[in-house]
Amino acid sequence: APGVDMTPSKLAKAAKDALNGTATTVKVLSASEIKKEKMGLLEAVGKGASDKPRLIIMEYWGAGKPTAGAKKQAPIALIGKGMTFDSGGLNVKPAGAMHDMHLDMSGGAAMIGAMRAIAKLGLKQNVVAVVPAAENSISAESMRAGDIATAMNGTTVEIIHTDAEGRLVLADAMTYAEKHYQPRVMLDAATLTGAALVALGQHASAVMTKDQSLEDTLIALGEETGDLTWPLPLWDEYKQHLKSSRADIT
């Protein structure tokens, strides 16, 4: 749907509608609740829009809700980027690159659809999904290049470019999933960067993980389903690009 018809609050409602009548429960955190959880990155990304950010949380306990210390019942966590429209923020995108940016919620939409499919199939698995929903808009309230925001886990982050918003909202969503669910594996999906298209074209999604077994599994499943994936490196040499003289990371 166009960005005007699918804002963060409307995406939250769409998630509830999609999962209505299934065994999946849906909870939505408002902007004030996001602030209370100290999710400063999600808050920073969405504060320039009139429709403020939401955090959509979906729970499915197909194997029974885990008891304390029951690692076998620990859920799989699915994290999906839910940017309902991405103007680029104050580092505005070129006009020709903005037209399709209502698609920047594709990762979040995929996870909502996955949760619906899991519930409809009645899988004997515990799965939770967290979708950070926001609009990266331009206003007097927007985050600025050079701002420093504090993540939910306490890490301070220097904003160098406001169009790098996806990794910010995903970081807080991952921390939320880790804090509240202690998942046995976490998978995130996002329209994160056009660099993946440069590397792989439109034939495959990029996989980035340091877990070799998980990488192999995702590649094999991609071959099986026709939804191809291919690995890109996560070398320690890249860490130098995250250095900041003003915050923990940039």
Q: Supply the pLDDT for residue 197.
A: 93
* Residue 167 among the catalytic residues: yes
Burial state string for 86-109 with b = 16 or more CB within 10 A and e = fewer than 16: bbbbbbeeeeeeeeebbebbbbbb
Residue in 1, 7, 22 with CA at minimum distance from that of residue 129: 22
The predicted structure's pLDDT at residue 72: 79
User: Structure pTM?
Assistant: 0.97
Three-class DSSP category at 90: coil
pLDDT of amino acid 70? 74
DSSP 3-state of 83? strand
Among the options 10, 35, 93, 184, which is catalytic?
A: 93
Q: Where are the alpha helices (DSSP H) in the chain?
A: 8-19, 31-36, 40-46, 106-121, 165-181, 195-200, 212-225
> In the numeric block, which tokens belong to residue 63?
């194997």
List of the chain residues with pLDDT < 50: none
Locate 134 and state its tokens.
């926001």
| 93: annotated active-site residue | yes
Q: How much is the pLDDT for 99?
A: 94
Q: Residues 10, 38, 167, 184: which is the catalytic one?
A: 167
Distances (CA, A) of 229 to 103, 107, 141, 221, 225: 20, 15, 38, 9, 10
Alpha helices in 184-246 (DSSP H): 195-200, 212-225
